[in-house]
Structure 1
Amino acid sequence: MELQQWKQNIIHDYLEKIDDLLSPLAFNIDEANAEIDIAEKELSEGKGIKETEMHQFFEEWKKKLK
């Protein structure tokens, strides 16, 4: 019985870690496409952020995941 409980704990811990990594901004395919359309429109209007700022954002985000 201990082995079974150990397996369940491992699975539970693993699933919790996956949940922690998921973004609160998860989209289905239609929502994702709508977000892409908005982003492309904003880009054509000159809105948005610079590539260096985006890289900095993701570097900071990666540090928070560790």
Structure 2
Amino acid sequence: SSINTEEAFYLYTNGPDLTSIMPCKYGKPQGTLFKYITQEGLQCEQIRQLLMRNSEIDTSCII
């Protein structure tokens, strides 16, 4: 089966990181929310302003 580009991007960004796949080699997961989004990143003022300015971004899944 094939997937479209939106599905591929979703899987790439929300997929597991190496720590959750191979914890013995890369260590325990650091508590990330997604592969590239951490709690510390969401607390950053610049990121918060970016999300608040762009009303087209769906932030419901990260709030």
TM-score, with structure 1 as normaliser: 0.32
Higher relative contact order (CA 8 A, sep 6+): 1
Question: TM-score if structure 2 supplies the norm length?
Answer: 0.32
Structure ID, larger Rg: 1
